[in-house]
Amino acid sequence: MSGLSKMIADFFVRENVIEHEEYEIYKYGSDILLEGERKMGRKNCAVIMLTSACLVLTACAPTEFPEQNGTEHQNQMEGVAKQELTEFDTDDVEKIPDHLTCQVDDLLMVDADVRLWGLSEWKLSDWYATEKNYTESEEEAHELIQKMMNEAGWKYEEKDVECYRNSEGEKIYYVEISNHEDNVYVLPDRFSYSTERGYVSLNQSDFCGDYKGDNRELYKTGRELAFGSIKESEQLAVDYAEKMGIQVSDTVDCYTLDEKNKRISWLDLDKFDNHTPEEEENRNFSYAIFLYQDYFGIPGLRYDPGDGKLTNDTTFRSSVCEVSVDRDGIAYFQSAPTYELEKMGTEQEILRPADIIEKQVEMMKSKEETGEMKLSEVSLEYLPVYDKETELYHMCPVWACYYSQTVTHYGEVNYDSEEKYIAIYDAYTGEVLQTK
């Protein structure tokens, strides 16, 4: 019996059915089965041995699954996506969820915030506007500078305000305080207040809110800093914007810049020899806050897709105010173009989020490049498009889809990067306006 058990186990090892480490286990099992010959009869035992061998061979053979890349699998995944979208196609705006998670296929994931900004019905008006010129009136430019300096605790004196013209002949007013980073600027289309601390936090740190290098979600941790809560800091930023004459949306995005934001430690390096973690936090950590200018409850476009051009070559810009808040309060404020109403257009019904998400998914699936893709946000916004003939900005309601794709770069060293894109759709018609 023992010899036969050994032969069976040797066969399984030789044929790569079992690993060598499993040899003794299978030999022992064969001994038990063969011992049963005397009790059950040779015929029954043979059946048991044959069945056991088949089970072993089946278990150890490579497992084959149905083809997952065919039409059937694709339709199944599409069916799942469409089923998920039904919640975003209701006439009741208040029932629209604020997030959609859905795996469309092996490469395409929808994990998107859906932002409606308090919309109450599926109707919006377009409108026409002029862009506010902050330097058109010297008096108003000085008043704005004085407001910013007073808020900073800096003494305003008219003689300190300097003015020059840029290459396009436009006036720029500014005051520099002790160094180049503590300053206030008023330009034709925007204005800014900056301290060295705020400049380092938002412009010289690892945090990046620019369209192409955007990594802000890494810092949306919800961590609150010792000098103040997120809610308090957000309100501080909103109040500052309104003091400067900018109406912003109730929705605010806040990011915590802490020890993860390594380059922020460039500040006060000479004081780092003897300090506690609490002292470092109080000195260097800050909040980066993004405010969105409010137009009838809807923000202006929140990102600039890079070249600021639509598919028809008309130009536009984003409408985001960037703020840094630290232990001393507002450390940095950068406004964006502000648009003033000239006339209203007509109120029309807009497409539902489901319509746009479906269009966006189809567009992403059709991209020639391969690599994992993720749709991360679908937002209702106003797009300011400049009309050269009327010299007005046409403020059109749009659906902005923010998405990314992993792209492999080949060279001496191959590497992957996450490329970010914006697709913009006319909210009335669904026409693609921008696919950068």
- pLDDT tens per residue, range 228-252: 999 999 999 999 999 999 999 888 9
CA distance linking residue 231 with residue 91, whole number of Å: 33
CA distance linking residue 198 with residue 325, whole number of Å: 8
| Contact of 142 with 156, CB cutoff 8 Å | no
Answer with the residue of higher pLDDT: 356 or 56: 356
Is the pLDDT assigned to residue 342 strictly greater than 70? yes
Is the pLDDT assigned to residue 115 strictly greater than 70? yes
Q: What is the pLDDT of residue 309?
A: 57
Place 81 in a pLDDT band, splitting at 50, 70 and 90: low
| Mean pLDDT, all residues of the chain | 81
Place 37 in a pLDDT band, splitting at 50, 70 and 90: very low
Q: What is the pLDDT of residue 77?
A: 45
182-186, 306-310, 313-317, range with greatest mean pLDDT: 182-186
Can you tell me the mean pLDDT for 151-167? 93
Can you tell me the mean pLDDT for 76-86? 63
Is the pLDDT assigned to residue 130 strictly greater than 90? yes
CA 405 and chain centroid, separation = 12
Can you tell me the mean pLDDT for 60-81? 46
Q: What is the pLDDT of residue 284?
A: 79
Q: What is the pLDDT of residue 22?
A: 60
Q: What is the pLDDT of residue 48?
A: 44
Can you tell me the mean pLDDT for 156-184? 90
CA distance linking residue 325 with residue 230, whole number of Å: 10
Give pTM, 2 decimals: 0.74
CA distances (Å), origin 283, targets 30, 151, 225: 74, 20, 11
Q: What is the pLDDT of residue 63?
A: 38
Residue 381 β-bridge partners: 398
Can you tell me the mean pLDDT for 149-155? 94
Domain ranges of the chain: 2-60, 71-127+346-434, 131-341
Phi-psi region for residue 5, left (φ > 0), alpha (ψ -120 to 50) or beta? alpha
Count the neighbouring beta carbons within 10 Å of the beta carbon of residue 68: 12
CA distance linking residue 398 with residue 396, whole number of Å: 6
Is the pLDDT assigned to residue 54 strictly greater than 90? no
CA 291 and chain centroid, separation = 16
Is the pLDDT assigned to residue 311 strictly greater than 80? no
Can you tell me the mean pLDDT for 147-172? 94
| Contact of 425 with 382, CB cutoff 8 Å | no
Can you tell me the mean pLDDT for 69-76? 47
CA distance linking residue 219 with residue 201, whole number of Å: 12
267's tokens: 């500040």
Is the pLDDT assigned to residue 353 strictly greater than 90? yes
Can you tell me the mean pLDDT for 164-193? 91
Answer with the residue of higher pLDDT: 319 or 313: 319
CA distance linking residue 183 with residue 193, whole number of Å: 6
CA distance linking residue 248 with residue 295, whole number of Å: 8
Compute the half-sphere exposure of residue 51: CA atoms within 13 Å on the CB side of its CA: 7
